Structure 1
Amino acid sequence: MPTATDLALTGQSRVFFAPNLAGPSTQPAYKGRARSQGLTWSNGALTPVRIPSAARYDEFDLATIIQGQQDLPQLPIMFRYPRTLSELLSLFRTRCPIDLEIHWGKCERPDDYLNGWFKDGKIIMIDSAFPLDYSTDDLGTFDGDGQAAPNETVNFTGTDLYELVALQPALQAGDEITDPIIAVSVCDSISCGSCGVPSDGCEKVFALTSGVTGSPGLPLEIIFTANKGLTYSQTNITSAALGAVGQDMACVGSNLMVITDGDEHHYADLDDIINGVEVWVLVNTGYVAAGTPNAIFSLSRDKTWIAADAGYIYFSSDITSSVTPQTAGDITAEDLNDIHGNGSIIVAVGDNNTVLISESEGAAWSSITGPSVGNALTAVEVISELVWFVGDDQGDLFFTENGGISWTQLEFAGDGDAVAIADIEFVNRRVGYMAHGTRILRTWNGGHDWVLEPQNTTFTMPANTVINSIGVCKSEANLYFAGGANAADGVLIKGAPTNVS
C-alpha cells in the first residue's frame, strides 16, 4: 500500500530539454524558470456495436466494442516570461520537435541531470514533442493592483510517453544454466488476450548457450521464460551436432533462429518452444565454408541478414529455406562481427576497422572508413539513417551523425581498458543499453551519456566475468536481460524496477 513518501509532490519536479532531439552530441539542459503542467493522453474513443435483443423488443445487446486510434500525449510547459528574448518563443517559431524530460526527485540537487532523480524519483519522457500552441498571460496593467509576473506557455504534443526509473539487477535461472550465455532475445509483443495469452510485450525471453566443445560435447541449449523471469525452462537444439558452438540468435517472424559455427542455422516455432513441442530444423543451403556465420539482424519475417567470416554477408527472405550471399569476400576479406539496420540502411562491422554499408536493404554494399584504425569493431547499433553507434575490442565507443562520413569517440566512465564492447541495444531512439566487459551501462538521452548499472549503489551487479549480450523489450524502457559467463558457468541477469506503485 502506498505511503506518504511514495506520493509525488509538484514541488519535486523539474523540466529538462534541449532545442533539438536528444542524441550523442546533445544533452538536455535544466530549465530553471519552467514548470510542467498536466499531462493528457487518450487511448481513443470507444464505439459500441449492438444487435437486436432476443429477449425484449426495443432493447439491444452489446455485441462488441471498436476502439478508436490512440491519440498523442500532450503536455503544456509554462515559463516565467523574461524581459530578454524568450527561449520558449524562439523554440516555438522553429516548429521543430524536442525531447522533453520531467525529473522527479527529493533529496538530491534538482539541476543535476544524471544524479538528481534516481535515488527517490523518476523521469517522465516525452519523445519528439512538437510545440503546437503558444500563449502568454496578460502582459500589461491599467493600475498598480494589476502588477504581476506574467507567464508564457507552449502546448507540446509528443509521439510517445513513458517513465524511467532506477533498476535493480538480479540473477536468473540459476538451476537451468550450466554453460555461458552467448545471446539473449526478447521475442514478444503486446497482447490483450483476444488472440492468446495476455502479454505486456516483455514476457517471452530466450537465451542461447555457447555450447561445450570437445568429446563427447554437449548439445546447444535454449533457456527461456514465458512470464518475464518468474520461471524458466530449458530445451536442446536437437538439430545441432553435439559440440556445436552457438554464435547468435534472433526472433524472425514466428520462429527463433540460431546460427552456429557449423556454417548453418537452426529454427523452431517460438510458441512450440514454450509449449515444449518444438521441432528444430537445420538449414545449410547457401552457406559457404569460408563464411562461418557470426551475427544476425532481422528486420522482419522476410528480411534477415547474417554477418560472417571472410567478408561474407548472407541474406534470407525465408529462413526455413536458404540463405544467399550478398557479399562474398569481394568487398573485404575481414571477418564481420556484428550487423544491424534501420529501414533501408544496413551496417556490418568487423576486424581491422571494417565497416560495410547498404543503403538499399542489401541490394548493393560498399565499404566506408571505420572509426578505430587497426582495431576490431565488435558491436553496431543503427538508430536512424544518419545516427549509428559502434564499439570496438578496445572498449571504445564511437558515433556518427552523418551516416559514417565522420566519426566521434564518445567517452564514458571506465571506457577503454582493452575490454571489448560486446553489445549495444536500444529500446527506442533515446533509451539504450551497452555491454562492456563485466559491466552494463544505460543511456536515456540518445547516447550522449552512458551511466553504469545499477545507478543506485544500494544494489550491486551479480558476479560475472563477461557480459556477451543484452536483450531489450521494445515496449518497456525499464527492463533488460543480459547473458554472459562467470568463469566456466553461464549467467543470466535481469534488470528491472524495484517496485511499481
Structure 2
Amino acid sequence: MSERVFQTGHGRVFLQVSGANPNSSMVYQGMARLGSFAKAEGEVSRVQIPSRLAYDRFEDIDVVSGESSLPTTSMIARFGLTNPILSAVCPMHIQAHYGKCGNPQDQNGGWEKILAYEKARFTNRSGDEQTALDEAGRATILLTGDITARMLWEIDQMALAETCAAQIDKEVVDVTIDDYISCGECGYESEGENRIFAVTVGYTTGSPGLPAELIVSLDGGLTCEQYDIDTLAADEDPSAVALVGGVNVVVPSADSLSLHYVDLDDLDTWQEVAAGFIAGGGPNDIHSHSSTQSWLVGNSGIIYSMANPADGVTVIHNAVLTAQNLIAVHGSDSRNIVAVGAAGVILFSSNGGATWAAITSPTVQIINTIWMRTRFYWMIGDAGGRMYFTTDGGVTWTEKVFGLSGQGEVHGIAFSHHPDSPFGFMTATDGAMGYVFRSLDGGSTWYQLPDTAAATPANIHLNAIDAGISGNFCVAGGLRAGTDGILMIGS
C-alpha cells in the first residue's frame, strides 16, 4: 500500500469563533482556506571551549537551543455577508480537516487528519481592492487574516484496544497518565505518553485474600507490571491514584481511612499514612497540582489538603457546607478547585482550598466526575448519565447532550495536555457496556470512539479515563466481565 498523501484540495476549514469550549459551535467555512504555516523551533548554537591540543582551535562540547516561536498561518476568505476575518476579536479555534472519501462538512466523522490552531488570533487583517471603476475591474474580494496561535496540534483517527489482560484480573478503579517529553539525555526517553498507572480492587475470596494492585506501564500500555499494594488488606480497596511531584504514587482508600504511597523508583515498598484522616471521612479521590499541593475529597463532606504524603493530610473542610459524600475533585490551577459528590453537591474554592462555597447544582444525582477547564468553564458528569457545563463558575448550567445521554452513567472526563485543551475524552455507559467518547472542540460536541470500523472492546463499565498530551491518546479502565478488569488504550 502506498503512503497516503494529502493535497490542498483535500482540506477544509472549520472555525470556533469563541474558541474551543462547550458553549461555542464549530462552523464549516465554505468560502475560506488556510495559507502556509510556520513554527520556528529555535536556532541551535554551538557551545565551545579552547582546544586542549592546539592554539586557535576550539572543541564543541554542547549546543544551546534558541527560543521557539508560536505557530503562524493565515486565513484567506471571500468577502461576503459573514466575515470572521473582519469581525472576530477573541481567541479562536481553527481546524484544517483533510480527507478523501468522507463528507467534508462532517465535523466529527468526515476527516482522516486534522491540523488545529488553538487560541488563534488575527494579528493583521487585509483585503483586495474593494470596488471597481469599470467592467475590467470586476472581481471577487479576498480577505486575508494573519494568524498566531498558542499551539499547533496534529490530530489523528483513533482505535481502541484492550491491553495487559494477563496482568489485570481484577476491576480497575482508577487510571492516570503522568509523563513528560524526554529525549533520553537523562536516561529516560518518552514522547510524553509512556507512563500509565492504574489501581485495581482486592479479592476477599480464598484464604488469604489477594490485595489490591498497582498496574504500571512504562511503554504506553504495550506491556504492564503489577505490584501488590500490601499495606491494603484484602477487603480494603483503593479509591483513586495519582503521581505526586513525579516521585510518589499515592493511592487513597476510603476503606482503610488512609493513603498509601510508594516511591516511583521502588514500587514494591509501600507506606501507609493515616495521619489527619477523620472518622467517617474516608478519601474517595485525589487531585495533585504539584509536589506540595494536592487535595483529597472524602465521605461526609470532608476535604483534605496534602503537602507531603509522608506527613499525611490536613482537614480544610469539615462538613460545614455539606455532609454529603464527596466523590471527585479537580482544579484548573493551584487556586481554583471544584469538589463534587452525592445528591449533586458542588463545592468551589478560589484560594487553594482555604475557603469553600456551595454552588447551585443542575442535578440531584451523584456527580461522578468533574473537569475544571478554567476558573469559569467546568464540566460534570453524573450517575444519571448526563453531562452539564457552566461558563460562569457555576452560576448557570447547561446540559451537554451526547449519544448516550440519560441511558447509564458518565464516569470520567479528561482533556489533553492542559485543562482548557480543545481535545477531550469521556467514559459513559448505556447501562450494559462502557464506551469512550471524544471531543475535538473543547467539549462542544462528543462522538463515540473508535474512529475506525472496529468495535469497542467488550466490557461492563469503564470507571475512569485519562488523556495523554498529544490529543491522540487516552487510557480507560473498568470491569470487563465477572470479576476481571480491563485496561483500554485509545490511540
TM-score by length of 2: 0.94
- Corresponding residue for residue 66 of structure 1: 64
Alignment of 1:137-152 (within 5 A): 137-139=128-130, 148-152=139-143
User: Hey, what's the Cα distance between the residues in 2 that align with 1:271 and 1:104?
Assistant: 44
1:359 and 1:145, CA in 2 relative to 1: closer, same or farther beyond 3 A? same
The corresponding residue for 2:212 is 220
Q: Which SS does the other structure have where 2:118 is aligned?
A: strand
Superposition deviation, residue 145 in structure 1: 5.9
CA deviation after TM superposition for structure 1 residue 153, in Å: 0.9
The change in CA–CA distance for 1:107 and 1:85 in structure 2 (over 3 A counts) is: closer
Supply the AA of the counterpart residue of 1:25: N
Q: Distance in 2 between matches of 1:187 and 1:447?
A: 22
1:421 aligned partner: 410
> 1:480 aligned to 2:474?
yes
One-letter identity of the residue aligned with 1:471: D
Counterpart AA for 2:451: Q
The offset of 1:159, in angstroms, is: 0.5
- Shift, 1:435, TM fit: 1.1
Q: Does 1:288 align with 2:278?
A: yes
**Is the Cα–Cα contact under 8 Å of residues 312 and 329 in structure 1 kept in the other structure?**
yes
Q: Which residue of 1 aligns with 2:98?
A: 104
Residues 110-259 of structure 1: matches in 2 within 5 Å? 110-117=104-111, 121-139=112-130, 148-213=139-204, 216-253=208-245, 254-259=247-252
Q: Match for 2:264 among 257, 270, 279?
A: 270
By how many angstroms is 1:322 displaced? Answer: 1.2
1:409 aligned to 2:406?
Answer: no
TM superposition shift of 1:142: 7.5
Matched, 1:462 2:457: yes
Q: Tell me how far apart the structure 1 counterparts of residues 148 and 232 of structure 2 sit (CA, whole Å).
A: 51
* CA shift digits 1:274-332 (9 cap, x unpaired): xxxx4211111001121011111111111111110011011111112110111112221
Q: Say how many residue pairs are matched.
A: 479
Gaps of 5+ in 2: none
User: For the residues of structure 1 that align with 2:45 and 2:137, how far apart are their CA atoms?
Assistant: 48
Q: Which amino acid aligns with 1:239?
A: T
What SS does the corresponding residue of 2:269 show, helix, strand or coil? coil
Contact 2:164 2:222 (8 Å CA) reproduced: no
Displacement after TM superposition at 1:187 (Å): 1.9
SS in structure 2 of the partner of residue 446 of structure 1: coil
Residue ranges of structure 1 left out of the alignment (5+ in a row): 497-501
Q: Is the 8 A contact 2:389 2:399 kept in 1?
A: yes
| Alignment partner, residue 499 of structure 1 | none
Q: 1:435 aligns with which of 409, 415, 427?
A: 427
CA distance in 2, matches of 1:378, 1:446: 20
CA distance in 2, matches of 1:368, 1:230: 42
Whether contact under 8 Å (2:342, 2:366) holds in the other structure is yes
Distance 1:138 1:58, change over 3 A: farther
User: Does the aligned pair in 1 maintain the 2:127–2:144 contact within 8 Å?
Assistant: yes
| TM-score normalized by the length of structure 1 | 0.92
Letter of the structure 2 residue corresponding to residue 384 of structure 1: T
Aligned twin of 2:348 = 357
Superposed, which structure 2 residues align to 1:14-29 within 5 Å?
14-29=12-27
RMSD: 1.7
> For the residues of structure 1 that align with 2:461 and 2:190, how far apart are their CA atoms?
31
Identity of aligned residues (%): 33
The corresponding residue for 2:296 is 306
Asked if 1:491 is matched to 2:486, the reply is yes
Contact 1:216 1:243 in 2 (8 A): no
Rounded Cα–Cα distance in structure 1 between residues aligned with 2:321 and 2:65: 51
Please tell me the residue identity of whatever aligns with 1:159.
R
Match of 1:297 in 2: 287
What secondary structure is seen at the aligned counterpart in 1 of 2:143? strand
